[in-house]
A and B are shown apart, each in its own frame.
Chain A
Amino acid sequence: MGATVKTIERKGSSLIERLYLIEIFKGMATTFGHLWRNLADNRRLYVRHYPEVQPEIPVRWRGRHRLTTHPDNTVKCVACFMCQTNCPANCIMIEAGERLDGKAEKMPVKFNIDLLECIYCGYCVEACPVDAIRMDTGIFSVTGNKKESFVLGLEELLTTPGAFSEEEYKKGGA
């Protein structure tokens, strides 16, 4: 079973092509066509009129992180450090502590995500054994005035709601 080989014809060797200028004019004609088309009717631009028109965020889209909670609003995370271990950008910084409410033995005391370092790969979500971290907030634009404001803390992660219902999220393949 050999690989299928597709021979691509080499271009640019004929005399006309080697003269450059004619090919350049051809190319310029193409770009001018686009310019003219758009000048004549700028409704035909292939753009979304952001920020007035916001993009529609699909369920599987990886947005800003959040930490999920138990029904009684306590943190689900057990501070197992799987996300921190798997994070290729090293942007998750957890400090663990004793959990006394009996839901688990361990819980995060600090849970910092440095969004400036995060590459939004979603490995943390994949790695989490208790579905405690998700990237389903639908937040795609994070702005701030200070470097420090990009470090999300436990409180911020816990209070951010998810953008989708549980069924939608599950259906998204998570």
Chain B
Amino acid sequence: MSPLDYLMIAIRVAFSAFVPLCFVAVCVWMERRGAGYFQDRSGPNRAGIFGFRAAGLVQNLADGLKLAFKEDIISQHIKHKFFFVLAPVIVFFTAVVSFAVVPYADTLVLNGKSYMMQGIPVDLGILWFIALAGFSVYGIILAGWSSSNKYGILGSLRSAAQVISYEIPMGLAIVSLLIVYGTVSLNEMAQFQGKLLFGFIPMWGAVLQPVGMVIFIIAAFAECNRTPFDLAEGESEIVAGFHVEYSAMKFAIFFMGEYVAMFASSSIIVTLFFGGYQIPFLSTATLLNWAKPVAFLLMIALPVVMYFFAGWIRRSNVSHYPRENDPRVFEANVYIKCFWGLIVILELVLLAILFSPSGGAAASIFVALLQICTLLLKVTMMIFVFIWVRWTLPRFRYDQLQKLGWQMLLPLALLNIFITSAVVVALS
């Protein structure tokens, strides 16, 4: 193994481990400010360091600090302290690890060696995700049971029932998808989606399997315990469900676990149905050939986007009440300057790519980075959909949940398998 091999392993593992964690902050921020804007209020935007609020991101820091320094209570009545502590660990760990098989760029070829761009370079793919998603509910069940609390046990019972009901349609939706793709490897699926249907439509899973997509997304919502499937928490009915006895950092682990799971689910959805890291109409090969023109286009596009973005910051980041020498105007100017600095750095990087020898490692790395950004952008949009749905829909009633799972999604998924199989057989 060459030093490059070690470096690549380190980079890929670090990426798979830290990106979901960093996205927790982004998710929470999107969720809270987004919820605010969905509901015509402003969301938490007052926490700041020396007047710099970073659009409310500092609130996350404050909340994190608060949770870290809060008293960690384990009630006297809890008999199984080991399982009580283990439960959030399971939830968090399974959520982080399930992202490890998601490819965030096409296979990278450096010095004639190819590297699979995912945390654990295995071909288990979607099977790994299903296994871990099923396992994460053990954390929730364990939490509710070991809490010795009726709300807790109710929450975990609901969660168990929900997972059983929705893993089946989810699995069946994937079966039809497997028939189309003919592989379980997520990387191969992403590569498959780089092709074009009839020469002009990207062959995304969403186009080939619209019904499967709907079923899978609904089931993914259920797996993540997100509204409208958040019966396990149901704060208006069973206080907080399974995590009612948890406080401080143990609660924070549950909380972060939920958002990491959301991130992992989003990335799986994107990889299965929205082309993964693929940029529409630009397959990896095309990108490698056209690296320089793309870089040049980006060099033009970035300042233009930034110009409008700066204008938006200047408009939004002001005090909306009479105030002399508004410090938020100064704040906005600082942000704009920072962003322009970032743009300048990016421009320099792109310039370096423009002048690098063609066909070298620089182009490969550039393409990989571009695909990483694409994936993260798609995942962010998917997370936004999660948040969007949460602040649009009310919670299902328990019977509605089961009815939807067994009487709608399950027959639909089975039907989808039959039709897909028939079409695939007919076409081949």
Question: How distant is the Cα of A43 from the Cα of B42 in the complex, in angstroms?
Answer: 10
Q: Which of A24, A27, A28, A38 contacts B40 (CB 8 A)?
A: A38
Chain B residues in 8 Å Cβ range of A32: 388
For window 312-342 of chain B, which residues contact chain A by CB distance below 8 Å?
Answer: 315-316, 319-321, 323
Is residue A45 contacting chain B, with contact meaning CB distance below 8 A? yes
A1 at interface (Cβ–Cβ under 8 A)? no
Q: Does A9 contact B (CB under 8 A)?
A: no
Measured between beta carbons, the chain A residues less than 8 angstroms from B391 are: 31
Report how far A32 CA is from B323 CA in the complex, Å: 31
- Residues 15-37 of chain B: 1 if any A CB is under 8 Å from the residue's CB, otherwise 0? 00000000000000000001011
With A21-B214, A49-B320, A52-B323 known as contacts, the answer to whether A27 contacts B392 (CB < 8 A) is yes
Is B77's beta carbon under 8 Å from chain A?
no
Measured as residues with beta carbon below 8 angstroms from the partner, the interface class of chain A is: 20 to 34
Partner of A28, one of B34, B319, B392: B392
A24 touches B393 (CB 8 A): yes
Cβ proximity bits A129-164 to B, threshold 8 Å, 1 near / 0 not: 000000000000000000000000000000000000
Contact B37 A39 (CB under 8 A): yes
Residue of A nearest to B408 (CB): A20
Q: What are 22 A-B contacts with C-beta separation under 8 Å? A: A20-B404, A27-B393, A34-B38, A34-B40, A35-B34, A35-B37, A35-B38, A35-B388, A38-B40, A41-B315, A42-B320, A43-B320, A45-B36, A45-B42, A45-B320, A46-B41, A47-B40, A47-B41, A49-B319, A49-B321, A52-B323, A53-B321
- Whether the Cβ atoms of A52 and B40 lie closer than 8 Å is no
B42 partner, pick from A34, A35, A42, A52, beta carbons under 8 A: A42
Q: Is B389 an interface residue (CB 8 A)?
A: yes
Q: Which residues of A contact B321 (CB under 8 A)?
A: 49, 52-53
Interface residues of B in 377-393 (CB under 8 A from A): 388-389, 391-393
The complex places the Cα of A31 from the Cα of B387 at a distance, in Å, of: 11
- 5 additional contacts, CB 8 Å, given A24-B389, A31-B391, A42-B37? A21-B214, A28-B388, A34-B40, A52-B319, A53-B321
Q: Is B39 an interface residue (CB 8 A)?
A: yes
- Cβ-closest chain A residue relative to B387: A35
Give the residue name and chain of the B residue nearest to A52 (CB): B321
* A45 adjacent to B40 (CB under 8 Å): yes
Q: Which residues of B contact A24 (CB under 8 A)?
A: 389, 392-393
On whether the beta carbons of A31 and B392 are closer than 8 Å, the reply is yes
B42-A28 in contact (CB<8A): no
Q: Is the CB of B41 within 8 A of A34?
A: no
Contacts of B38 in A (CB 8 A): 31, 34-35
Q: Which 8 A-B pairs have the closest CB atoms?
A: A38-B37, A31-B392, A35-B37, A46-B40, A31-B38, A28-B392, A53-B321, A49-B321
Interface SS of chain A: helix, strand, loop or mixed?
A: helix
Q: Considering the chains assembled together, what is the distance between the CA atoms of A41 and B388 in angstroms?
A: 19
Give A42 to B323 CA distance when docked, in angstroms: 17
Per-residue A-contact encoding for B227-263, CB less than 8 Å = 1, 0 else: 0000000000000000000000000000000000000
Chain A residue with minimal CB distance to B315? A41
User: Which residues from A are CB-within-8-Å of B388?
Assistant: 28, 31-32, 35
**What is the 8 Å Cβ interface bit string for chain B, positions 206-218, against chain A (1 contact, 0 not)?**
0000000010000
Complex alpha-carbon distance, A113 and B377, angstroms: 56
Query: Which chain B positions have C-beta within 8 A of A49?
Result: 319-321
| Nearest Cβ on chain A to B154's Cβ, whole angstroms | 26
- Please, how many angstroms separate the alpha-carbon atoms of A38 and B43 in the complex? 12
In the assembled complex, the Cα of A34 lies from the Cα of B321 at a distance in Å of 22
Q: Closest chain B residue to A38 by CB distance?
A: B37
Q: A21-B214, A52-B321, A52-B323 are in contact. Are A28 and B41 (CB under 8 A)?
A: no
User: Which residues of chain A have C-beta atoms less than 8 A from B320's C-beta?
Assistant: 42-43, 45, 49
For chain A, residues 32 to 69, give those with C-beta under 8 angstroms from any C-beta of chain B. Answer: 32, 34-35, 38-39, 41-47, 49, 52-53
With A24-B393, A49-B321, A52-B323 as contacts: A42 and B40 at CB distance below 8 Å = no
Provide the bound-state CA to CA distance between A2 and B36, in Å: 45
CB neighbours (8 Å) of A35 from chain B are: 34, 37-38, 388
In the complex, chain B residues whose CB is within 8 Å of the CB of A47: 40-42
- A31 neighbours in B (Cβ, 8 Å): 38, 388, 391-392
What B residues does A39 contact at CB under 8 A? 37
> In the complex, are the beta carbons of A28 and B389 less than 8 A apart?
yes
- Residues on A with C-beta less than 8 A from B41 are 45-47
CA of A30 to CA of B40 in the docked complex: distance in angstroms? 12
- Smallest distance from the beta carbon of A17 to chain B beta carbons, Å? 14
List B contacts of A52 (CB < 8 A): 319, 321, 323
Enumerate chain B residues within 8 angstroms of A44, measured Cβ to Cβ. Answer: 40
The answer for the CA separation of A69 and B229 in the assembled complex, in Å, is 58
Q: Which of B39, B319, B323 has the most CB of A within 10 A?
A: B39
Measured CB to CB, the closest approach of chain A to B62, in angstroms, equals 17
Q: A69–B244 Cα gap in the complex (Å)?
A: 48
List of B residues within 8 angstroms of A45 by Cβ: 36-37, 40-42, 320
